[in-house]
Amino acid sequence: MPWSPEQALSFAPDEATARKGEDLATTRKWKNLEGNEKFIWGECKSSGTAYYKTQIDLSAPAFKCNCLSRKFPCKHAMGLMLIFTNQSEAFRITNDYPIWVKDWMEKRGQPVDEQAQSEAERKKREARIKNRDARLQLMTTGVEDLELWLNDLIRQGLASTEGQAYAYWQNIAARMVDSKLGGVGKRIRKFPLLYSSGTEWPERMLFEIAELYMIVKGFERLEDLPSKLGKELLTIAGINIKKEELQSLRGIHDDWLVMGVIEGLDENLNYRHTWIYGTNSERIALILEYSFGDSGYPVTWRVGQAFNGEVVYYPSAYELRALVKAQKGAVALFEEPRGNSTIDQFFEKYARALSRNPWVYDFPCYLEEVIPVMDKERLFVVDREKKYIEALPKEGIAWKLVALSGGQPINIFGEWSGEYLIPLSTIVDGNFLGL
């Protein structure tokens, strides 16, 4: 269905989206512009390296885009429509639909006798979108409040925070929680603990402030972030993806080895980190679980345990956290995974992860042939190039590692916090030994 430019712009939800759509109505910002008399689609370059998948059903018209915009149609859909209006020859005519277009077509192509069910689903979907938009608006207001507080904190100087009552921190944390920024509120409640780090507390507090300010700046550009990075930001801020949503996604079938397990307590909530490795995919995944009180966890994970199963990763710009969708049974232990031969090699890998997702906090670290060394009750691991990082093991583990090594190189797997390594396992006689 041909439109005039004026007719196309009339579909925009507001003038700002129309203007942004006009800015995107150039073929140099798109790839794979294709379609036919029923559908058109294309991929629009984001501000990063990703592309937004955008499609239009010409008969309705109806719009679909995988960006995080709260506007409908979004600026990408408006740009695609305007290109079609002004340069229809730029689209390659085809009936060979990409899978992401096929999926949308199938969802839209409901039989007539399912119209009532489809209408009910449509209303539910609209309600979810309305609730999500309301929550995002509340979060945006909270982020603006956070930015003012952070700026005031810097202007007054970090020294002004010393001696502040707990209520000082609790007040802003509670405002963040009220704004649906639970993740942010949780971090602020931990600020008073920074003073226990001695003379290093200003540096640590400044780091935390910078992390929060990065969240503020991320929200300002939420619509321009690559889709998965935007979802990561919302998760960090406080919007959790439900496990039920992951169950519908296709995972990775593999034989998985449990490489490390760590449990702890965070604000009266028990947590458990379980790191697993896929022998065929060579992917590492983090199974993050929580439990209240003495309720425990539904599955017991043991270091060295191997099982066949399907694992689904949470959407992220750098996928680590995952859900075990299906566990089919135990398998024989397989070859030891490849680790990092030097500490510099590990840091290069860590830097690449941060370049894709600046909100990577817990990161797997597997070092080959390192020697654990004690120095004034502090534990360090030293690689073949004589470079070292500090380790922060559980109580009683430091000397155990030194004894297992006997001054000889061993392989150590652990969790990197960004500052130090938490050793979780080592290799003894070809088997993983939990620490």
| pLDDT at 108 (0 to 100) | 66
* Sheet with 269-278, edge to edge strand ranges: 284-292, 269-278, 252-266, 306-313, 322-330
Q: Residue 262: which of 123, 394, 142, 125 has the closest Cα?
A: 394
Of the listed ranges 125-134, 317-326, 346-355, the one predicted with least confidence: 125-134
| pLDDT at 117 (0 to 100) | 46
Q: pLDDT band at 114, cuts 50/70/90?
A: very low
Asked if pLDDT for residue 11 goes beyond 90, the answer is no
Asked if pLDDT for residue 253 goes beyond 60, the answer is yes
Of the listed ranges 40-54, 265-279, 406-420, the one predicted with least confidence: 40-54
Asked if pLDDT for residue 52 goes beyond 60, the answer is yes
**Mean pLDDT confidence for 258-282:** 90
Of the listed ranges 183-192, 196-205, 305-314, the one predicted with least confidence: 196-205
Query: Average model confidence (pLDDT) for the chain?
Result: 86
Of the listed ranges 68-77, 158-167, 270-279, 305-314, the one predicted with least confidence: 68-77
**Mean pLDDT confidence for 244-262:** 88
Q: pLDDT band at 126, cuts 50/70/90?
A: low
Highest-pLDDT range among 21-35, 47-61, 332-346? 21-35
Q: pLDDT band at 42, cuts 50/70/90?
A: very high
Q: Residue 401: which of 430, 381, 421 has the closest Cα?
A: 381
| pLDDT at 292 (0 to 100) | 82
Q: When comparing pLDDT for 185 and 16, which is higher?
A: 185
| pLDDT at 298 (0 to 100) | 82
Q: Which residues contact 136 (CB under 8 A, 6 or more apart)?
A: 70
Q: Residue 74: which of 30, 11, 32, 129 has the closest Cα?
A: 11
Residues of the chain with pLDDT > 90, as a percent, come to 38
Q: When comparing pLDDT for 435 and 364, which is higher?
A: 364
343-434 to CATH, choices 2.30.30, 3.30.70, 1.20.81, 2.40.50:
2.40.50
Left, alpha or beta for 30 (phi > 0: left; psi -120 to 50: alpha)? Answer: beta
Q: When comparing pLDDT for 136 and 174, which is higher?
A: 174
Asked if pLDDT for residue 122 goes beyond 70, the answer is no
Q: Tell me the per-residue pLDDT of 82-106, one tens digit each, with 9 for 90 and over.
A: 999 888 888 999 888 888 888 888 7
Of the listed ranges 33-37, 43-47, 401-405, the one predicted with least confidence: 43-47
| pLDDT at 334 (0 to 100) | 61
**Mean pLDDT confidence for 346-352:** 96
* Residue 253: how many other CB atoms lie within 10 Å: 16
> Euclidean distance between the first and final Cα of the chain, in Å?
66
Residues of the chain with pLDDT > 70, as a percent, come to 92
**Mean pLDDT confidence for 7-16:** 80
The residue written with tokens 């942010």 in the block is 184
Q: Tell me the per-residue pLDDT of 176-192, one tens digit each, with 9 for 90 and over.
A: 999 989 889 989 998 99
Q: Please report, as a single letter, which amino acid is at residue 284.
A: I
Decide if 354 contacts 331 (C-beta within 8 A): no
Q: pLDDT band at 37, cuts 50/70/90?
A: confident
**Mean pLDDT confidence for 45-63:** 81
Asked if pLDDT for residue 110 goes beyond 50, the answer is no
Decide if 121 contacts 107 (C-beta within 8 A): no
| pLDDT at 130 (0 to 100) | 66
Asked if pLDDT for residue 294 goes beyond 70, the answer is yes
Of the listed ranges 5-14, 85-94, 145-154, 278-287, the one predicted with least confidence: 5-14
**Mean pLDDT confidence for 378-397:** 92
